[in-house]
Chains A and B, each alone.
Chain A
Amino acid sequence: MINALPERELFAPGHSACAGCGAPIVARIVLKIGGPETIVCNATGCMEVFTTPHPRTSWKVPWIHAAFENAAAVASGVDRALKKLGTRDRTNLVILGGDGGTFDIGFGALSGMLERGHKATYVCYDNEAYMNTGIQRSGATPKYANTTTTPAGRSVHGKTEFTKQLPFIVAAHGAYTATANVAFPQDLADKLKKSFAFNGPSYIQVFSPCPTGWRHPTDQSIEIAKLAFKTNVYPLYEIENGILKINRKPTQATPIEEYLMRQGRFKHLTKEEIADLQQHVNADWERLLKLEESGLRIF
C-alpha cells in the first residue's frame, strides 16, 4: 500500500531519531501528502530536536518551532498572516506535536485554535509519554505503564489512571478528528487528505511506537503498532461532521496480553491488571461500535 503514496520526499534523511522511532514515519507521510506548499509548526519534543540541530535541518518545507505548549497558537498566527498575504488557499498548514505537548501542556492552545476554527491540521504523534524529557507519564500514558514518574514500585504498579480520551474532546470542538497508526500509512494518508480539504480545524492522532520508552526491540515497532490495532488497544476511527466511523476492524480481536508482553513497560503486570486493561479495551470498543451503529451526530 505504501507504494501508492507520492514518491517525492520533503522530509530529509540523516536526522538523529532513535532506531525504530515512529515519529519520522509520521513526518514523512505528512509531507508526502502535504507537498511543497506546506508550512509546519512544531511543538518542542523529540521531533523538533532530532530534525533541527542547527545548522542542519530535515525540513524541505518552511518550518517553525517556538515552545512546548504553543504550537497551535503559533499556527493560529501563521494562518491569519497567510490570509493577509493572500496565500492561505494554496498552503497546507500542519501542526506537529507529541502527546505531552498535545494532551497536557499544549491542551489550552489546542482548544483555542480549534474553537477559533483555524484551517490547520494538528497531527499528534502519540508515543504515550513525555519521551524527549525522559519517559515521564502524560495524559496519554496507558494505565499500569511503567514510566520514570510512574515506576512499577512495590506499592504502586505503574500509572494509576486510564488514557485521556482526547479525540472525543477535540471532536466536541467541531473539528475533523481521526486516529491513525504508523503501521497503516495509506489510512493516515487518506485522513491527511481529508483534513487538508476540510475548511476548518482537523486533528489526527497517530499511534507511534517508541522503542526507547516502551522498551521493545527497535525492529518490532511496526509489529507492535499492528498489534495495537489487532487487539483494539488503538482503534482506527474518524469523526467527520460529528459522525463516528470505524475505518478498519480486526476480523477477530487478539487478546491484549500479546500486545502488552512485547513491551518492557508492561512486563510487571499481574493477571488481574491485564484483565482490568482487557475489560477497559473491550468496553471502549463496544462503545465505538454502538456509536458507529447508531449513526448519531454525536457533536
Chain B
Amino acid sequence: METHIPERISEFVNNGEFDCEMIYVESEHSAISAALGASATGVRSYTATASQGLALMHEILHVVSGMRLPVVMNVANRALSAPINIWNDHQDSMSARDTGWIQLYVESAQEALDTTIMAFRIAEDHKVMLPVMVCLDGFTLSHVYEPVDIPDQKSVDHFLPRFAPIFKLDTKKPVTMGPIGYPDSFMDFKKQQQDAFAEALQAIKKANAEFRSELGRSYGDGLVEPYLLEDAKYVFVGLGTICGTARVVIDRMRNEGKKVGMMKLKSFRPFPEDAIIAALKKADAVAVFDKAVSFGQKGPVFSEMESAFCNQARKPVIHSFIAGLGGRDITLGHIEDAFKKIIKERQPSVEWLL
C-alpha cells in the first residue's frame, strides 16, 4: 500500500478525529476486495496504493468497475518491477487504464486533495457509478510537503452529501450482486459501462465547476487545463507534476517571445477527445510527454493523441517524448529542448530522454 496516506489516516482515526473504519488487510488484493465489499454494503469506501500494489489489485479493479461500485482510490504513481525501482513514473496506472476506472491525474498536493473530494461526487453520480483513481506522482507529491488549504467540514459536506447507493446488501431488500453473465447478457453490461464513461465526461466538468463555485478552486474544465494556450503554436502535453516544470519553461520562453503553451491532461479515462481537439485547434506542433510505455507500441498518451486527431482535417504535428521512467529526472532543459525540437522539426518524431 502507498504508505503515507494510510499512515496519516490511521493517525486521524486513532486520535478520534475521523469517524471511519480502517481495515488493515494482508495484501492490496484484499484491500481492494474489502473496499468492494464495504461499498456494496452501502458505505463510502476508499483505499490508496502504488506500483506493485496496484498491479496486485489488477484483477479486482475490473470487478469493482464491472459491479459499478463507486470506490475512490489514490494511486501514488511509481514504476513497476523489474528491475525493482521505487521511484515515480506512470507505468502502474497506465497498465490499469483498461480496467474500467476513471483516471484523473494531478499536479500538486492541493489538486490531489481537491480532486479526491471531487472524485466521490463523480463516482457516486447515479448516471456514472464508476470507480475513480486519483493519480498523484509518487515521491514528487506523495513524499514531499507543501502547504495545502483544507476546506472546512461544512463546505465539504455541502459539496459532497451523504452516499446514496442505488443498490446495497440489505437484508430488508435482498439483491444478488456479481452474478454470472452468460453471452446473452455480458456484452450489454459492458456497453452500459462504456456509456457511463460518456456520462462521466459531463460529471467531471460539473464537479469541477461546482467545486469552483462552492470552494473557490478549479482545474481547467476538469478534463484538460490550459496554460497560455490561447495563442500558442507549440504546445506541451503531459500529466501530473511534470506540468509544474513545464509552466516554468513556458514562462521563460514566453519572455523570449516564443508562442508556447501547455495542455495539462487531467482526465485520461474518460479520454476527453473533443476537449483536446478544441484546446489544440490553433496548435502547429505538440510535444507529448509520456512517463510510461506500451511496450512494442508507443507512449500511451501519445498513441491516443494521434488517434484523437487522425480524422481531423487540421491537425498539429505530434511528437512523442518518453521521459522520467523509474524516477529519472525531467529537467527544465529537457522541456525547453523539446519545445526547440518541435518548433524546428516538421515531421513527427519519437525520442527517449535517456
Contacts and interface: CB of A to CB of B under 8 A. Distances in A.
Contact of A77 (B29, B33, B182): B33
Contacts of B255: none
B27 A108 contact: yes
Given A70-B29, A73-B37, A78 B21 contact: no
Contacts of B40: 64, 74, 77-78
B75 to A, nearest CB: 19
B38 interface: yes
Nearest to A75: B37
B16 interface: no
| Residue picked from B29, B34, B63, most chain A C-beta under 10 Å | B34
Contact of A84 (B21, B34, B181): B21
Interface in A263-287: none
Interface residues of B, number: 38
Contacts of A111: 26
A54 interface: yes
Contacts of B39: 77, 81
Interface residues of A, number: 44
B25 A81 contact: no
A116 interface: yes
| Residue picked from B25, B26, B39, most chain A C-beta under 10 Å | B26
B29 A60 contact: no
B26 A81 contact: no
A115 B84 CA distance: 30
B162 to A, nearest CB: 12
B176 A63 contact: yes
Contacts of B178: 48, 52, 64-66
Contacts of B21: 80-81, 83-84
Contacts of B42: 81, 85
Contacts of A80: 21, 23, 34, 38
B149 to A, nearest CB: 29
Interface stretch (B166-174, B241-249, B279-287): B166-174
A116 B23 contact: yes
Nearest to A112: B26
B29 A73 contact: yes
Contacts of B171: 36-39, 61-62, 87, 91
B25 A76 contact: yes
A59 B169 CA distance: 12
Contact of B180 (A49, A75, A78): A49
A74 B185 contact: no
A87 to B, nearest CB: 8
A82 B168 CA distance: 11
B317 interface: no
B37 A52 contact: no
A297 B27 CA distance: 31
A136 interface: no
B308 interface: no
Contacts of A36: 171
A95 to B, nearest CB: 10
A84 B35 CA distance: 13
A91 to B, nearest CB: 6
A41 interface: yes
10 contacts: A48-B179, A54-B179, A62-B175, A63-B176, A66-B33, A73-B29, A80-B38, A108-B29, A108-B30, A112-B27
Interface of B: 21, 23-27, 29-31, 33-43, 45, 59-60, 63, 67, 169-171, 174-182, 185
7 nearest CB pairs, A to B: A77-B37, A112-B26, A81-B41, A52-B179, A73-B30, A73-B33, A77-B38
Given A64-B37, A112-B30, 14 more contacts: A37-B171, A39-B41, A52-B179, A57-B179, A62-B171, A62-B174, A63-B174, A76-B34, A77-B45, A80-B34, A81-B21, A81-B39, A82-B41, A91-B171
